[in-house]
Structure 1
Amino acid sequence: MENQTQTRKRARVIVVGNQKGGSGKSTIAMHLIVGLARAGHVVGSVDLDAGQATLTRYLENRKAFADKRNIEMPGPAHVPLAPSENVEADKRRLEEVMQGYYEQVDTIVIDTPGTDIPVSRYAHSFADTLVTPLNDSFIDLDVLARVDGETLKILGPSPYAAAIWEAKQARAQRDRGQIEWIVLRNRLSTLDARNKREMEDALNELSRRIGFRVISGLAERVIYRELFLNGLTLLDLRAQGTGVDMKMSHVAARNEIRGLLSAVGIKE
């Protein structure tokens, strides 16, 4: 596989990863997928989070909604991959899916589980862009670094940060490629709270130490949970046939998503 992918123009691979659950990975992955599809890209997606399978259910809800309304809803080719106890077999299955996608699509989005499993680490090594959603709290910062509880000084990188370093090395050995790592601050408070400012300072310091780019993320909004039930994203709300009335809060949230797409290099 590796010799073949070196001679063929690769699809761009975007991995959405974080070893902590509840960070909003599947919501981010879905909005990236729809943003890419609406921008004219041919997209393939992989759901490695078999335990939750949120992305897979999101896409199933989307198809059911489109069928019920008899409307076209852009989306990806999709493959759910449930990890087994055979690590090498899981890696081969992922390789096979990637190989097929390289011949069919121009962008691949991989949603990974909120746990540390070998196939997830392997998937990270295929990334051109890694997006790590991070809830805006020091509890969740632990996924990136060890922090002193009294001084808030960063003591060192976390196991996940070390795993990203290994993924970068594996990627370089495979095809001399590089992984751009983006940390997305998620579920931001709308208030200029002290915790919010301290998180910003800590992330800026850590970004220089372990090599990622911090981008402004998404505020905590009920709309994301509501849209999931119909498989919709904020990028679909103005499409004909969705039947959703745009509100000011929706417009603000949509602008946040547009900021995400722009930061990842997706032009609407």
Structure 2
Amino acid sequence: MGQPHFIIFANEKGGTGKSTTAVHTTIALAASGHRVGALDLDNRQRTMTRYLENRDATMRRLDKQLPHARYEVLDDHSENGLHAALDRLSQDADVIVVDTPGRDDEVSHAAILKADTLVTPMNDSFVDLDLIGQVHPENYKITKPSFYAELIWNSRTERAKTTGRGVDWVVLRNRLQHVDSHNLRRVGAALDELARRVGFRVIPGLGERVIYRELFPKGLTLLDLADLGEVGMGHITARQELREMIAGLGIPEPGASLPEPVAVAG
């Protein structure tokens, strides 16, 4: 089959909607015809795994096949365990989605080195922005990239030198406010400035938090509206946000060839 496309969801802060976004991406790609593998690196919280287990239970209860993925939780939390799990999932997948823990972790660093698409969800606030860049307290300009941005920069450089391929780093603005505000504009301006300096793309993420919490027990997603029962405008709006987010990630279509190697200086 060749090498799968690796999508790594990584953010050392918790509470950014990382696992929810990873699961919805997994199911959306499966629904579009991809053969998807999913690996949960957080063997304590296991949020992605629990979500997909709930989905399996719903399919059995409804006696209905829904878009799904092969999935594992990484019980052997080591680099060797990581590579072995990715090898297993790669046997029957053209895309592999990896959900990393919300903490600094050597296994997560190793996963980042595998990324073709690296996704960093963040809440739309200066608290979360501080993970990737420090902001001046008066003019809200970026003063310098943070340690995490430097980690990603070094990981991308190392991957480019060893494989000849680049990494598409995407920052997702989750929990976007629907009403314009000074904070919204300031965070957006700071992100745009940092994106130019560090080299990532910024796209809108997911915003309807209550709906996502309600979906978890059944393992359903916003693409499963026919099985949700009563559906309101909030569901429709959130589904459109999801579709726009998936389009923004720009994952190659099933069977598409990988991009050409990139030139690496030095």
Q: Scaled by the length of structure 1, what TM-score is found?
A: 0.90
Among 201, 211, 229, the alignment partner of 2:217 is 229
1:261 aligns with 2:249: no
Q: After TM superposition, give the deviation of residue 101 of structure 1 in Å.
A: 2.6
2:130 counterpart letter in structure 1: D
Q: Which blocks of at least 5 consecutive residues in structure 2 are unaligned? A: 255-266
For the residues of structure 1 that align with 2:154 and 2:49, how far apart are their CA atoms? 28
1:92 aligns to what?
A: 80
Q: Which blocks of at least 5 consecutive residues in structure 1 are unaligned? A: 1-7, 85-89
Q: SS where residue 218 of structure 2 aligns? A: coil
Alpha-carbon spacing, 1:83–1:96, altered in 2? closer, same or farther (3 Å)? closer
1:206 aligns with 2:194: yes
2:48 counterpart letter in structure 1: L
Q: After TM superposition, give the deviation of residue 93 of structure 1 in Å.
A: 1.0
For the residues of structure 1 that align with 2:158 and 2:80, how far apart are their CA atoms? 16
After superposing the two structures, state which structure 1 stretch, 195-204 or 216-225, moved more: 216-225
Among 24, 37, 46, the alignment partner of 2:30 is 37
1:183 counterpart letter in structure 2: V
Q: SS where residue 11 of structure 2 aligns? A: coil
Q: Scaled by the length of structure 2, what TM-score is found?
A: 0.91
CA RMSD of aligned residues (A): 1.6
The answer as to whether partners of 1:17 and 1:132 remain within 8 angstroms in 2 is yes
Identity in percent: 46
Q: After TM superposition, give the deviation of residue 244 of structure 1 in Å.
A: 2.1
The answer as to whether partners of 2:74 and 2:85 remain within 8 angstroms in 1 is no
Q: After TM superposition, give the deviation of residue 92 of structure 1 in Å.
A: 0.8
For the residues of structure 1 that align with 2:169 and 2:228, how far apart are their CA atoms? 37
1:60 aligns to what?
A: 53
1:188 aligns with 2:157: no
1:48 aligns with 2:65: no
Q: SS where residue 229 of structure 1 aligns? A: helix
